[in-house]
């Protein structure tokens, strides 16, 4: 049985503990043995080598350099890494090694919580299979992302809330490879209530399962 470690912490506005518990439930349905913790020391723990998937549900916080380097090494060696919304994109923003392995950094959400459209750009991928383009209400994330990512779904900014972003198309869901490891990210899921959306939890569940160690 594969093991997933879900680590929560940071800004309470993203409801990290509630979201971590929901993610654990989704992964348990896919046959994972799950561990949920708010101990950030897990990033430097030998337990990472025994896990198949690591899911940070963390906004902000500080990651020690040695722990960041241990995480990078673990993903290179095959550990899966995945997250949603602020997780990965806003976790440990001062850590260059973490930014490198995550492949994504949040920089803005013009208009805050708004209605926007998500376009499935890779419908043949198993993560997105059977999911049509859909409307969504949340923070529409403007991201800086690694050019190596494979974009599975995207959104286009209208410019209504910030003319600078007009007609900019931005990833919403992507995956990438990092050494022997896999990384998955979905920008959806600002708060726990968004897991009630018809497509958001399915995308996350499939993506995290894809990222897990082979």
pLDDT tens per residue across span 31-58: 999 999 999 999 988 888 889 999 999 9
Contact by Cβ (8 Å): 53, 22: no
Task: Give the pair of three-digit tokens for residue 195.
Answer: 């897991």
Q: What is the pLDDT of residue 37?
A: 97
Q: What is the pLDDT of residue 15?
A: 98
Contact by Cβ (8 Å): 176, 148: yes
Task: Give the pair of three-digit tokens for residue 76.
Answer: 């290179």
Q: What is the pLDDT of residue 47?
A: 87
In angstroms, the CA 164 to CA 203 distance is: 29
Nearest by Cα to 6 from 67, 51, 64: 51
- For residue 189, CA distances in Å to 6, 24, 100, 115, 170 come to 16, 15, 22, 13, 16
In angstroms, the CA 49 to CA 46 distance is: 6
* pLDDT above 90: residue 77: yes
Give me the CATH code for the 3-211 domain, please. Answer: 3.40.50.880
In angstroms, the CA 13 to CA 10 distance is: 9
Domains of the chain, by residue range, sit at 3-211
* pLDDT above 90: residue 214: no
The DSSP line for 134-148 is EEEEEE--EEEE-TT
* pLDDT above 90: residue 153: yes
Share of the chain above pLDDT 70, in %: 100
As a whole number, the mean pLDDT across the chain is 97
- Provide mean pLDDT across the span 85-103: 97
Across the chain, the runs of DSSP E, i.e. the strands, are 3-10, 33-37, 53-59, 80-84, 104-108, 113-120, 134-139, 142-145, 150-156, 169-178, 181-186
């Amino acid at each position: 049985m594969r093991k997933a470690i879900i680590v929560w912490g940071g800004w309470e506005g993203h409801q990290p503990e509630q979201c971590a518990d929901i993610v654990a439930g989704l992964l348990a349905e896919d046959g994972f043995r799950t561990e949920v913790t708010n101990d950030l020391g897990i990033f430097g723990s030998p337990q990472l080598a025994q896990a198949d998937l690591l899911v940070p549900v963390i906004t902000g916080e500080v990651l020690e350099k040695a722990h960041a380097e241990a995480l990078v090494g673990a993903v290179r060696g095959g550990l899966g890494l995945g997250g949603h919304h602020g997780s990965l994109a806003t976790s440990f923003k001062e850590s260059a090694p973490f930014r490198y392995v995550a492949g994504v950094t949040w920089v803005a959400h013009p208009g805050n919580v708004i209605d926007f459209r998500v376009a499935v750009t890779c419908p043949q991928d198993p993560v997105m299979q059977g999911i049509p383009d859909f409307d969504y209400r949340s923070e529409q994330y403007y991201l800086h992302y690694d050019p190596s990512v494979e974009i599975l779904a995207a959104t286009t900014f209208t410019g209504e809330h910030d003319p600078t972003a007009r007609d900019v198309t931005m990833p919403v869901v992507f995956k990438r490879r990092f050494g022997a490891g896999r990384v998955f990210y979905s920008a959806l899921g600002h708060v726990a209530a968004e897991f009630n959306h018809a497509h958001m939890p399915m995308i996350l569940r499939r993506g995290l399962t894809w990222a897990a160690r082979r």
